[in-house]
Chains A and B, each alone.
Chain A
Amino acid sequence: MYIVKRLFTMIVTLWIIATLTFMMMHFIPGDPFASDAKMLPEEILENMRAKYNLDKPLAEQYFLYLKDLAQLDLGPSIQSKTRDVNTLIAEGFGPSALLGIQSLLMAIILGIGLGVVAALNHNRVLDYLSMFIAIIGISIPSFILAPLLIKYFGVEWGIFPVASWGTWQHTIMPSFALALGPLAIIARFVRTSMLEVYNQNYIKTAEAKGLSTFSVVVNHGIRNALIPVISFIGPLFAAVITGTFVIEKIFAIPGIGKYFVDSIFNRDYPVILGTTIFYSTILIITLFIIDLAYRFVDPRIKITSRGE
């Protein structure tokens, strides 16, 4: 019952996102053929507009779009004559997903590690060092970190390839550029959460059982400290996803993000809508999974139709 309700909410959310994006898109001045306007005769432009339904009233365009969307057809791309939006997304999905997942894992694993080390060394050198790294990570945006990485690790020291995509080495710099911010946020969050857990009596109970330090830290400390962090992975995931647009552009990675950025400049309406809806879907599904995971990890929360 809870799950059915959640699924219904998810569909409504997507519909609202599609509608808002559709409206905002048409409020931006210009249209897909603005740059061609000077070169092409008026009749040809008319024909082109007709081909993409752009001559019809906005409301009609909207319903036509929704009809296609209901059949999971995201329509043709105006810019690319050969590939429709579904194909673009299918082609770009591989690199984007790899980049996104790799940076997310990097952020989560390194972030938790850094946070735990800091908490266990509360107010000692390792704590200060970890939090110094974290502050740097939070204050440098990925689009500044990326060129810096390219300059030093790519050009000057030649450790990693400068840009483009192909081998695993290509993925390191963009993933790290994307991961550092979230990594730093997770580290700080985990540290606070871990310190709080360590003030709890059940840590003393665990120590009083004579358990090894490792067992106390992992089974009683980290496990409980991570529960609030799970709820945090949703917004983080969103941050990583939106981050991929810029990073893909900077590193010339052939992912969906690159198409998305290009599509906005070109007013490629179906691509803007299609990629937005695609990303929203992924985000919404992820949030749903995280919610389920949360309920799984924390036995105090039960799946019920009445919510909490």
Chain B
Amino acid sequence: MSRLLEVNDLKVSFRTYGGEIQAVRGVSFYIDEGETLAIVGESGCGKSVTAQAVMGMVPVPHGKVKNGQILFGDRDITKLSKKKLQQIRGSEIGMIFQDPMTSLNPTMKIGTQIREGILKHQKLSKNEAKEKALELLRLVGISDVEKRYSQYPHEFSGGMRQRVVIAIALACDPKLIIADEPTTALDVTIQAQILDLLKDIQKKRNSSIILITHDLGVVAEVADRVAVMYAGVVVESGTVDEIFENPKHPYTLGLLKSVPNLDSPDKERLIPIDGSPPDLFAPPTGCPFAARCPFAMEVCVMHMPDKETFSDHHYAKCWLNDNRAIKVEEMITAGSEQLV
């Protein structure tokens, strides 16, 4: 598997009336060809802004990529001109947005909306582009495509609209698809269908997917690897197994506890994490999770924890994993014995 995208120490800020919001504060991750990477975290932790940066779509002039690289092939997306970015968008990276009710143009036939991107990036006639659009509609599981092609978004249900949005993202066969909470706005049954569709497409086309979600249930369903984000940083990353079986960061643990157990018949009650994320106008100098962390130590408040690596893919940023803190962890797990 070869590397498709690599993000290094990405920082994105917004200037607002209240001051500067540091939405993304040094995010790094990568994705290989044919892989599905899930980015999880509570709302407001910077997932969408990260996706915007990868698309080169951070809203100007108040938003700004302050630092870092976004390497896509041999290009750094943070350095490309508007023209170059427009050539990549839609053709090499496709994007699926959260709310299917508003992500389609209400006054344009859906066929035209799919065809538009094809015409922009590929040298096809209008008729050939239409054929391609019809094929895409079939691929995303829409029936009666000829008729659907010339209908408007309001004639589609939420789930059907999301299929259309997916068709748009897939139109030029991009190597990378970014899906920003693609199922959050949908009914549970429809959610499962859309996830199945994404998995199916990935298998057929061997594309890479960055799936953004706050729902670990979704992650378990489709992802290969996971990056857990908190307050603008990736606090833990690893394969799905590593994250679910062997979480190394208290925040990941908290997220896992707040997921209803899929296996138990009587759905366990959710245990949400107490408190709320830190203020991004003035983020803490130490561990951003300290204020909510049941294991917080003095060092956590003062210093940002280093990255501690556990395997090729697995790392976490938490002082509990530091050599000097191991004893503390053992004390917790071993209970009172050693305390005496």
A residues whose Cβ falls under 8 Å from a Cβ of B? 124, 200-202, 204-213, 215, 219-220, 223-224, 227, 297-300
Would you call B117 and A211 a contact (CB within 8 A)? yes
- Chain B's closest residue to A301 (CB) is B154
B176 within 8 A of A: no
Q: What 9 A-B pairs come out closest when comparing CB atoms?
A: A210-B90, A210-B89, A209-B117, A208-B95, A209-B90, A201-B103, A299-B152, A201-B102, A202-B105
B-side contacts of A220, CB under 8 Å: 105, 108
A-side contacts of B55, CB under 8 Å: 208
A-side contacts of B113, CB under 8 Å: 205
Nearest-neighbour CB distance to chain B for A33, whole angstroms, equals: 59
A219 to B87, CA, bound (A): 19
B-side contacts of A206, CB under 8 Å: 105, 116
Would you call B168 and A209 a contact (CB within 8 A)? yes
B-side contacts of A223, CB under 8 Å: 107-108
Q: A205-B168, A209-B171, A210-B121 are in contact. Are A300 and B106 (CB under 8 A)?
A: yes
Q: Can you give 9 contacting A-B residue pairs, CB < 8 Å?
A: A201-B97, A201-B103, A205-B103, A209-B116, A209-B168, A210-B85, A210-B91, A211-B117, A298-B107
11 more CB-based (< 8 A) A-B contacts, given A202-B104, A219-B105? A202-B105, A202-B106, A204-B103, A205-B103, A209-B117, A209-B120, A210-B85, A210-B88, A210-B90, A297-B107, A299-B106
B-side contacts of A205, CB under 8 Å: 95, 97, 103-105, 113, 165, 168
Q: Interface residue count for B (Cβ, 8 Å)?
A: 34
Of the candidates B87, B99, B103, the one whose C-beta lies within 8 Å of that of A210 is B87
B-side contacts of A201, CB under 8 Å: 97-99, 102-103
A305 to B303, CA, bound (A): 70
A-side contacts of B269, CB under 8 Å: none
B184 within 8 A of A: no
A-side contacts of B139, CB under 8 Å: none
- Chain A's closest residue to B85 (CB) is A210
B-side contacts of A209, CB under 8 Å: 89-90, 116-117, 120, 168, 171
A206 to B116, CA, bound (A): 9
Would you call B107 and A207 a contact (CB within 8 A)? no
B41 within 8 A of A: no
B238 within 8 A of A: no
A219 to B172, CA, bound (A): 20
A-side contacts of B87, CB under 8 Å: 210
B82 within 8 A of A: yes
A299 to B165, CA, bound (A): 19
- Chain B's closest residue to A298 (CB) is B107
B288 within 8 A of A: no
B residues whose Cβ falls under 8 Å from a Cβ of A? 55, 57, 61, 82, 85-91, 94-95, 97-99, 102-108, 113, 116-117, 120-121, 152, 154, 165, 168-169, 171
Nearest-neighbour CB distance to chain A for B16, whole angstroms, equals: 12
Would you call A212 and B168 a contact (CB within 8 A)? no
B-side contacts of A210, CB under 8 Å: 85-91, 117, 120-121
Would you call B57 and A219 a contact (CB within 8 A)? no
- Chain B's closest residue to A204 (CB) is B97
Nearest-neighbour CB distance to chain A for B102, whole angstroms, equals: 4
A300 to B165, CA, bound (A): 19
A-side contacts of B116, CB under 8 Å: 206, 209, 211, 215, 219
Would you call A212 and B105 a contact (CB within 8 A)? no
A-side contacts of B97, CB under 8 Å: 201, 204-205, 208
Nearest-neighbour CB distance to chain B for A296, whole angstroms, equals: 11
Nearest-neighbour CB distance to chain B for A241, whole angstroms, equals: 29
Q: A204-B97, A209-B168, A220-B108 are in contact. Are A300 and B154 (CB under 8 A)?
A: yes
A213 to B86, CA, bound (A): 9
A236 to B229, CA, bound (A): 52
Would you call A208 and B105 a contact (CB within 8 A)? no
A204 to B199, CA, bound (A): 24
A215 to B55, CA, bound (A): 18
Would you call A208 and B57 a contact (CB within 8 A)? yes
Nearest-neighbour CB distance to chain A for B119, whole angstroms, equals: 10
Nearest-neighbour CB distance to chain A for B167, whole angstroms, equals: 12
A211 to B94, CA, bound (A): 12
Would you call B102 and A207 a contact (CB within 8 A)? no
B-side contacts of A224, CB under 8 Å: 105-107
Would you call A213 and B107 a contact (CB within 8 A)? no
A206 to B152, CA, bound (A): 16
Nearest-neighbour CB distance to chain A for B257, whole angstroms, equals: 32
Nearest-neighbour CB distance to chain A for B5, whole angstroms, equals: 16
A-side contacts of B103, CB under 8 Å: 201-202, 204-205
A206 to B91, CA, bound (A): 13
A211 to B86, CA, bound (A): 6
- Chain B's closest residue to A227 (CB) is B107
A123 to B39, CA, bound (A): 34
Q: A205-B103, A205-B104, A209-B168 are in contact. Are A299 and B154 (CB under 8 A)?
A: yes
Would you call A211 and B120 a contact (CB within 8 A)? yes
Nearest-neighbour CB distance to chain A for B97, whole angstroms, equals: 5
A290 to B117, CA, bound (A): 32
Q: A201-B99, A202-B102, A213-B82 are in contact. Are A208 and B90 (CB under 8 A)?
A: yes
Nearest-neighbour CB distance to chain A for B174, whole angstroms, equals: 10
